[in-house]
Structure formats: C-alpha cells, structure tokens
Amino acid sequence: MEVMVAKTAGFCFGVKRAVDQVKRQIAEGRKPIYTYGPIIHNEEVVRELAGQGVRVIESEKELLDITDGTVVIRSHGVPERIYREIKDQGLDIVDATCPFVKKIHRIVREYGEKGADVVIIGNDGHPEVEGIKGWCTGAVTVIGTEEEAEQFRHDPAKPLCVVSQTTFNYKKFDKLVEIISKMSYDRVDILNTICSATEERQSEARRIAQKADCMIVIGGSHSSNTRKLFEICKKECANTYYIQTLKDLDIRRLPSMGCVGITAGASTPNNLIEEVSKQCQI
Ligand code: SF4
C-alpha cells in the first residue's frame, strides 16, 4: 500500500513559534509559566507542557487571581484589554500571537480609528475571532454562513472593512464576500487575511484526497483548521477518518491495497504524523 503524507501537514510557522516560545521560558527557568488558553489545540502537547509546569489560564476571571509569573499569549491572539489586565496584575507577557493574526489586529484597529465598522468572516466564538473583535473600536459583525451574509445590513454612509479569520476556507470566504459585495456598499474594503499556510494545506489535502482510496486527517478535537481539512477531504474521498492520536487509528478500516493519504492540522506535532504514517505501512 502506498502512503502519501502531505508536505504541509503539521505545525505551521505560527504554532511552532508559539510552542518554541513556551519551551524557551521553561529552558530559562522562569516560574510559574502560564499560557492564556491552551497554547495550541492539541491535548497531547498541552499535557506534555503541563508536565513541565506550564499551567493554562482558562478565563479572564482566572487571570485576575494570578499575581506572579509569566503569561504566554498563544498564536490565536487575545483582545487588547487582556494585555492591560496582564500588566495590571504585575505579570510578564511573552506575546506569541502569530504575526499574521497581529496584522489583522492592526488592520481592524486602524479602520476603527477612521470610523469604519468591521465584518470578520469566520466562526463566531473561535478564540482568534474573539481576539480580533477585541481590537475593533466600532461595530463588529461575524459572518460565517451564507444566511448570515444575506441578512447582514450596514449603514452605507459608514466605511466598512471586511477581514477573515486566518484559517477560514478560501472558497467559502469568496462566496460570502460575493454576497456582501452585491449589497453595493460604496465604502467597503475587502482584505483577504486568510493565511497562505492554511490555503496551501487545504489545496494539498484536496489534491491528495482526490487520488487516495482512504484519507486520514490528524488533529485535536477543538482545532477548527483540522475540522475544515476533514470537510474538504471527505468531499473528495468518502473513506476519510478524523483521528486525534495514534490510538484512534483503526488499521482494519484501511484498504489492503491502493493509496492512503495523510494530512494534519496546524497543531499536530510531526512525531505523531510520522507514527501514523509508519502504522499505515505495517
Ligand atoms: S495558520 Fe497561519 S495565521 Fe494561523 S498560526 Fe499558523 S501561520 Fe499563523
């Protein structure tokens, strides 16, 4: 059986950078170390870091009870007020927000200063989207579906800025923007802020799934980019399986001949991808 592993599978630049920043704090002997939310959407990695003393701050309320230590902000970013709260608590900040997400924070803030409202094409409630919202100073609307785009109304006298969650599906973004554009707002700036790492990962996954007899998508259960990869692959290959760890891999479901494709979300460590690949070849 042939096994095709996507070259783009696994940690993206932003996730690797965030995990490395936490590891650097550990190596420098800083204590206590916190991450604001799990550093990545991968339970195994978070557990491994917890074993080295890294604690996760789950909520703003929890943050306000901490008065000593270093807080690492994860690649998803956080609302502006969280920086103030961390400083007010007397804590050190290590900002591991991915530079591509940081760029969106800057865009929405600058447009807000010019009096513009903001539309975020993305999944409401996703930490990255919540973070972006927290940098908007005017009205902000999150649009994730065609129905939401159809229902969207905006004061034509006000400028409007449209950005995207970095991990949003490229085709879906185009479709939603097309619906908003039909409303003929004169003062709308559309900025495609989808990360190219996401787009490349999705395109490669689609290409492999088209050829594969069976497709395995690896990633944490809370990882929205892994879920999107799964959706894309499932459309092309009915035998697509979503696994979180090696334990979830049921090799009896794999074809005895043909080709197995493997891809993984941005929070999946390389060693897990290699283990799954090896297992498929046994
Ligand atoms: S997917 Fe792109 S934007 Fe998101 S963390 Fe990775 S590199 Fe940054």
Task: Per residue of the chain (282 residues), give pLDDT as tens.
Answer: 899 999 999 999 999 999 999 999 999 999 999 999 999 888 888 999 999 999 999 999 999 999 999 999 999 999 999 999 999 999 999 999 999 999 999 999 999 999 999 999 999 999 999 999 999 999 999 999 999 999 999 888 899 999 999 988 888 999 999 999 888 677 899 999 999 898 899 999 999 999 999 999 999 888 888 998 999 999 999 999 999 999 999 888 887 778 999 999 988 999 999 999 999 887
- How far is the CA of 66 from the CAs of 45, 48, 75, 91, in angstroms? 23, 22, 21, 8
Nearest protein CA to atom 7 of ligand 1, as residue: 14
The structure tokens 């690949």 sit at: 277
Q: What distance in angstroms lies between residue 264's CA and the mean position of ligand 1's atoms?
A: 14
Q: Is 102 in the pocket of ligand 1 (CB under 6 A)?
A: no
* Residue 225 alpha carbon, nearest atom of ligand 1: 1
According to DSSP, the β-strands at 140-143 and 117-121 are parallel
Does residue 75 have its Cβ closer than 6 Å to ligand 1?
Answer: yes
Q: Are 54 and 33 in contact (CB under 8 A)?
A: yes
Quick one: pLDDT at residue 255?
76
Cα 208 vs. chain centroid, distance in angstroms?
A: 22
Q: How far is the CA of 256 from the centre of ligand 1 (A)?
A: 36
Rounded-to-integer distance, Cα 2 and Cα 261, Å: 8
Q: Residue 273: name the closest of 200, 198, 218, 208 by CA.
A: 218
Please give the backbone phi and psi of residue 117, each rounded to the nearest 5 degrees, phi first. -90, 165
CA dist., res. 173 & res. 151, Å (int): 16
CA-to-CA distance for 258 and 15, rounded, in angstroms?
Answer: 33
- Cα–Cα distance list, 6 to 13, 217, 265 (Å): 16, 10, 11
Cα distance between residue 246 and residue 227, in whole Å: 17
The pick from 75, 103, 263 for probing ligand 1's pocket by mutation, whose C-beta has the most ligand atoms within 8 angstroms, reads 75
104 CB within 6 A, ligand 1: no
- Alpha carbon 252 to chain centroid, angstroms: 31
Residue 117 to residues 98, 157, 183, 185, 194: CA-CA distances in angstroms? Answer: 24, 11, 16, 12, 19
Cβ of residue 13 lying under 6 Å from some atom of ligand 1? yes
What DSSP designation does 90 have? T
What integer pLDDT is reported at residue 48 of this predicted model? 92
- Give the model's pLDDT for residue 140: 97
Cβ of 226 less than 6 Å from ligand 1: no
Cα of 263 from ligand 1 centre, angstroms: 16
65 CA distance to ligand 1 middle (Å): 30
Distance CA 55, CA 50 (A): 6
73 within 8 A of 52, measured Cβ to Cβ: no
Cα separation, 103 vs 261, whole angstroms:
34
Query: Quick one: which atom of ligand 1 is closest to the CA of 76?
Result: 5
